[in-house]
Chain A
């Protein structure tokens, strides 16, 4: 018997291991994000590519430097810094030159500052200060975006119009137009108002919304490609559908109620802003979302509620990043509440009741 000569390993569980590595998962996320980035570059021109390159460059640099200074092992190989940089770049708009006296070099200097500050807060403050990958309390790219949004409110909303739109240079995002236009105050059907806005050229039509020919941040505009990337991640089983379906579904339900049943309004709200990007790629971050299915659904619904409330009732047009940040912070509580019961162990309440009766 040759088997007896084999050395058998005796070890504690787990005994079954998959071939997934952090690097492979991160590579999948990068691959899923690439199409939306290409769309951003096509829509906003080569300056979008500069933003993406700068963000990835700064993120990798900060990751390397902070690990080096803190005397920890080098973690560039796991590609998580690349994913963070990519996501952060997708959350930054291509700056509108009109806000910088029409000078390209001024806008470029500001872009470099945006990318550097965002990457610093994402990588160093949110991730490395808390112990590196897997220890961060919130999604690094989300924190980077919020810091930029709070610090540079005018630059972060200086959206360039897509190159395909001939008549406009500066543009508001579709969400901005919808929340700005006091849609709910005016009399008349909301669907009719939207179609008249769209016919007048204020709002892009639904097809451009889906493809991405509209104002916005680099990576958030092309809804169809983000969904495609999400499908790839689902197929590769990198993410499970619970969080983003619950997130987008909750927003849809809220918007349907708020607009008294106007389907075009719901479609604009879902395709506009960073909802798809945030729901598919940022809310599903492993470290900052619950493990159990029940927890994921609670997490997604929570994100949806916060996001809808901000979009409908606050002065801000967009609330996806704040929603994800808030639920990231609530994640440990959700984990505690949805802790699965080990097989064969009775529920605490039940056990107490039995104790009482006995």
Chain B
């Protein structure tokens, strides 16, 4: 019973309190790059979630076997295998999605969320907890991508869920398209939102909002360890500067 409760806790923390993109600021590269449309965002989020659950389970199961000195290469090998599997499945069944995600699908290998959870959680916790953690983090990532994708697609392209038919076929429904309606009254979508500049600016706003909501609920700030915990501390200029000052 005790384990089940904490399983739930590990699952829910990824949704808001430790949301990977909004609170831990991990995996920002795919967040900015693929959120130009909702369909891309969902596809990316789900692919990353699958990889995250599988790699968390595998790494957690092998945590006592992997020597700590070579753990990062070992993690990368495990993660890369799952990414390859996911990539092949997407290529086979959702070729359009594969084309629009492009390089960002194989790049899930180096996504900091996955390596970060492996290092910070799966390598120290039992299998079931790690699976719950992976699922929560993955869904949190997907939700964040969905929010960004929805706003950027509606404002920047004048469509919503465009191309959903390639992801799932719901009675031939292929998303909403407002651009013709807009053109009829002389308007045009605000293109900057689907460009990188708009992505950065909107990412900043949504991150601030999430922090505001989280702190309004009395949730503690995402825990950040000091410089001494950082593996780069020996060569980092900030920590050496601090030493000099002392």
Contacts and interface: CB of A to CB of B under 8 A. Distances in A.
Interface in B188-207: 188, 190-193, 195, 197, 201, 204-205
Interface in A285-344: none
Contacts of A100: 186
A113 B158 CA distance: 14
Contacts of A109: 185-187
A103 B191 contact: no
A150 B197 contact: yes
A150 B185 contact: no
Contacts of B191: 150-153
Contacts of A110: 186-188
A154 B187 CA distance: 11
Nearest to A155: B188
A147 interface: yes
B104 to A, nearest CB: 23
Interface string B156-171: 0000000000000000
A2 B195 CA distance: 71
Interface band, chain B:
10 to 19
Interface string B95-117: 00000000000000000000000
A183 interface: no
Grouping DSSP codes into helix (H, G, I), strand (E, B) and loop, the A interface class, with mixed when no group exceeds half, is: helix
A107 interface: yes
A117 B190 contact: yes
A107 B192 contact: no
A150 B156 CA distance: 11
A152 B201 contact: no
B210 to A, nearest CB: 16
A15 B185 CA distance: 59
B199 to A, nearest CB: 13
Contact of B192 (A106, A113, A151): A151
A106 B185 contact: yes
A106 B190 contact: no
A206 interface: no
B207 to A, nearest CB: 12
Nearest to A109: B186
A153 B190 CA distance: 10
A129 to B, nearest CB: 8
A106 B186 contact: yes
Interface string A97-119: 00010010111111001000100
B96 to A, nearest CB: 27
Contacts of A117: 190
Interface string A145-161: 00100111111000000
A103 B195 contact: no
A105 B185 CA distance: 8
A152 B197 contact: no
B208 to A, nearest CB: 8
A152 B188 contact: yes
Most buried by A among B185, B192, B193, B197: B192
A147 B187 contact: no
Interface in A106-151: 106-110, 113, 117, 125, 129, 147, 150-151
B197 A107 contact: no
A105 B197 CA distance: 31
A106 B181 CA distance: 12
Contact of B187 (A113, A129, A150): A113
Nearest to B195: A150
Interface of A: 100, 103, 105-110, 113, 117, 125, 129, 147, 150-155
6 contacts: A100-B186, A105-B186, A125-B201, A150-B195, A151-B191, A153-B191
Minimum-distance CB pairs A-B, first 10 = A106-B186, A151-B192, A151-B191, A109-B186, A110-B186, A151-B190, A150-B192, A100-B186, A147-B192, A109-B185
Given A129-B204, A151-B193, A152-B188, 8 more contacts: A103-B186, A106-B185, A106-B186, A110-B188, A113-B187, A113-B188, A117-B190, A152-B191
